[in-house]
Amino acid sequence: MRKIQFIIAFLLLTITAFGQTIDQIKANRNTYIWGEGKGSTLKKANNGALSMIISQISTEVESNFTMLKTEDSEAAESYSEQVKSVVNTYSNASLRNTEQIVISNEPDAHVFRYIKRSELHKIFEARKQKILGFSYNGNKALEQVQIADAIRYYYWALTLLQSHPYGNSIKMTDAEGNEHLLSTWLPFQIKQVLAGVRMNLMKLEDREAYKLAILDITWNGKPVSNLDYSYFNGRNWSNIIGAKDGLGYIELPPSFDENSSIDIKTEYFFEAEAAIDNELRDVMQEVDPIPFRDAYLKINSEVDQAMLETKQSPNEEIVMNAVLSNPEALVNVMEAVCQAVDQNAYETVKSYFSDEGYEIFTKLLQYGNALVLSNDNMEFMQFGDNVVARSVKMKFAFSNNSRSFVEDVVFTFNAEQKIQDITFGLSQNALGDILGQDTWEESVRLHLIDFMEHYKTAFALKRLDYIESVFSDDALIITGWMTKPKKNPEHNYYENPIVHYNRYDKNEYLKHLSYSFKSKEYINIKFNDNEIRKSGKGGEVYGIQIQQDYFSSNYGDSGYLFLLIDMNDTTEPVIHVRTWQPEKNPDGSIYGIGDF
């Protein structure tokens, strides 16, 4: 009986304490912002409490959202509502960190939430850091002439800047130590980047139902690593096209007047890609798009013959010592294969492939209606007993999606001069990053390139068998991070703080990938910003840190990939560790060899 009386007394005391706390918070409006909500579920009650807090915060900071203000009187009337909608975009992240008291549970849920006014700046600080992060990413991409990425990050930073109550005062310090006020610097930077884009017509070919125009695309005289654009076909704007390494294309109707110009629009909004970030997606739905006239340009439909001759000369940017001097027979094979692709006459070249090679070839053709854009700069190199043919440029378009891509396609001949493998090539930047490690043996560098190209292609062609073969049976596979690890001595790396969040074993990871592959029409991966280090132990063990953009028909993300690869047997590379994280660590680093 005494025990029951003690429990009842404790519960009454607790309820009273909570009641006093809530009453005190409500009475002290100078110190707290609070809200409460009721509903049949805790979620509904919680959302009601958050909505009440959002309304108060909106009123509190409304006058500071100067970047949202407009001289349009009609728009000005809805300014308060827009501010509230913009503040509401914080609810999915920062606002959920407000303190919570459950007054009563379901089915008569009652929730009370509150935050100190002095803590308001923390709500907006996370978004400020994201704005700065996007701005720095834009600078980094611009250094690599990744123009699509530079524009995307700058525009996203500018969009988020409008959603920050102190957006007009946020500054960034660049790598040279120069300080920039982002509200003026970002629009200027976007205009400067857009103004540097140039497109010239390299070829205009008559195809069966259209004219195919091959474009040379540069930024300030350098071939773009990537650029997204669309063109006006006389009736409407095309789907988005992703150029690569200075090459793009457009498809024109047969009746196109070759004496006329072509209207091009450089993509800067990147609405589909913004879906990878819920916070960014919500903001883009609430703030008005910012137009940039510099995104529009016209190109002359006359072929620049002098430029075409230059583009057909050997590529001197990437030098590989193993280039073959007399690949005439293989050139003829590749010419026939390219012609077969363009004419949909695949069976006519089946004899040039091994059985496995032809299976991969047909998968490649099924991947986005392949079409050869150029094979002018093909390069053949000895790779062990095999010969690799590089730089066949193809475009891939998808019937149920609004994007198309340009890819380098790499063909590998076996000792019998049969095509036994096909991969999507790395970008010129990525190749340069690996080949630039001139203290390593060239064979090691070539095997690393071969591995990364196979890894990228395995996802594009959904080759679960290949992915299974390269992961060790006890591989450590992580799809995120964790800040509060739970130690378990039975796990390898148990003291490592990053291994306990979304940690998969090999079978779980493959099962997850299998479900993912079945749900997607296509997958396209872009690798940028590589950094490769050799481990100090284990022989030929390498750590690859790489920025990865992942696009698919129903999902996309951007993040940082780390692979720990055992290359002691170059014929059978093995991945021991694979981590992925959506953002860099607070100190600007990403996980690497030193973490394992």
What distance in Å separates the CA atoms of residue 151 and residue 466, rounded to the nearest whole number? 35
Q: What is the pLDDT of residue 480?
A: 59
Pairing state of beta strands 179-181 and 99-104? unpaired
CA terminus-to-terminus distance, the chain: 57
Pairing state of beta strands 226-231 and 240-244? antiparallel
Q: Is 507 exposed, middle or buried (0-12, 13-18, 19+ CB in 10 A)?
A: exposed
What distance in Å separates the CA atoms of residue 491 and residue 489, rounded to the nearest whole number? 5
Which backbone phi and psi does 176 adopt, to 5 degrees?
-90, 0
Sheet holding 471-478, edge to edge: 503-504, 471-478, 574-581, 556-566, 541-552, 523-534
**Cβ within 8 Å of residue 420, ≥6 positions away:** 353, 354, 356, 357, 386, 412, 413, 414
Record the pTM: 0.80
Q: What is the pLDDT of residue 424?
A: 92
Tokens of 390: 């590089």
Q: Which amino acid is at 294?
A: D
- Give pLDDT tens digits for 338-348: 999 988 889 99
Q: What is the pLDDT of residue 19?
A: 47
User: How much helix, strand and coil, in percent to the nearest 5, is found in the chain?
Assistant: 40, 30, 30
What secondary structure does DSSP assign to 345-401, as a single string? -GGGGGGGB-HHHHHHHHHHHHTTT-EEEE-TT-EEEEETTEEEEEEEEEEEE-TTS
Q: Which amino acid is at 433?
A: D
Tokens of 362: 């047909």
Q: What is the pLDDT of residue 326?
A: 67
Q: Which residues of the chain have pLDDT under 50?
A: 5-20, 71, 73, 312-319, 481-500
- Contact between 89 and 283 under an 8 Å Cβ cutoff? The reply is yes
The full set of domain ranges for the chain reads 25-67+75-122, 442-596
Q: What is the pLDDT of residue 12?
A: 42
Q: What is the pLDDT of residue 123?
A: 80
Q: Torsion angle of alpha carbons 522, 525, 526, 528, nearest 10°?
A: 170
Query: Matching CATH topology for 25-67+75-122 and 442-596?
Result: no
Which backbone phi and psi does 82 adopt, to 5 degrees?
-65, -40
The domain at 442-596 falls in which architecture?
Answer: Roll (3.10)
Question: What kind and span of H or E run contains 476?
Answer: strand 471-478
What distance in Å separates the CA atoms of residue 223 and residue 225, rounded to the nearest whole number? 6
Q: What is the pLDDT of residue 137?
A: 87
Question: What kind and span of H or E run contains 565?
Answer: strand 556-566
Collapsing DSSP to helix, strand or coil, 160 comes out as: helix
Residue tagged 């706390």 (tokens): 21
The domain defined by 25-67+75-122 carries CATH number 3.10.28.20 = yes
Q: What is the pLDDT of residue 256?
A: 79
Which backbone phi and psi does 541 adopt, to 5 degrees?
-115, 130
Which backbone phi and psi does 35 adopt, to 5 degrees?
-155, 155
Q: What is the pLDDT of residue 486?
A: 39
Q: What is the pLDDT of residue 534?
A: 84
